[in-house]
Structure 1
Amino acid sequence: MHLPTLRTHHGRVHADLAYTHTVPKARRTGHTVALGVDWGLNTLLSAGAVRLHDNGTITALGSGAQFRAAGVLAKQHRLRREGEHLHAKADHYQRLINDTDSHYLSGKHAVLAEEIRYVADRRSNLNDALARSAARWTVDQALAAHASVIYVEDLRSMEARGMGRTLNTRLSQQVRGQIVERMRHLAAEAGIAVVTVPARGTSRHCPRCLVTLRHRKAPDRPTVAGWKWAICPNPECGWQGDRDTGAWQRIAARGSTHQTKIAVDRASGAMVIRSVVDQLETTAVVETATTTGIRRGDRSKAGPTRRTIARSAPRRRGAPSPTGPSGPAGKRPEGHAHTGPKLLPRAAHRHQGVTTISTPTTRRHRPRGAALGAGFHLHAHATPPRWEPIQPIPQPADHKGSVG
Structure 2
Amino acid sequence: MLSAAVLAERVGWCADLVAGMVGALIGGHWNRVDVEVLASGVDAAGRRLPSNAWMALRRLGWTAAAPVGVKVNDRIVRMAQEQAGRVLRSSKWRVDVTGGVLSTWPSDPRRRTPVEWEQVRQAIPGGEGLPSSVIKSRTRQAVAFIAANGRLPVDVFELEGIPRVPRMLLLAACDRQQATIERNDTDPARALLRMQLPTRPDPRGYRDWTWVACPISLPPTVPAGAFLHLPTLRITGRQVRADVAYTHGVPKARSSGHTVALGVDWGLNTLLSAGALRLQEDGRITALGAGGQFRAAGVLAKQHRLRRHGERLHAKADHYQRLIAGGDQQHQLAGKHAVLRDEIRHVSARRSNLNDALAWAAARWTVDQATAATATVIYLEDLRSLEAKGMGATMNTRLSQQVRGKIVDRIRHLATEHGIAVVTVPARNDSAAEFVTRRRDRSGWRVAG
Could you tell me the TM-score, scaled by structure 1's length? 0.49
Higher helix share: 2
Could you tell me the TM-score, scaled by structure 2's length? 0.45
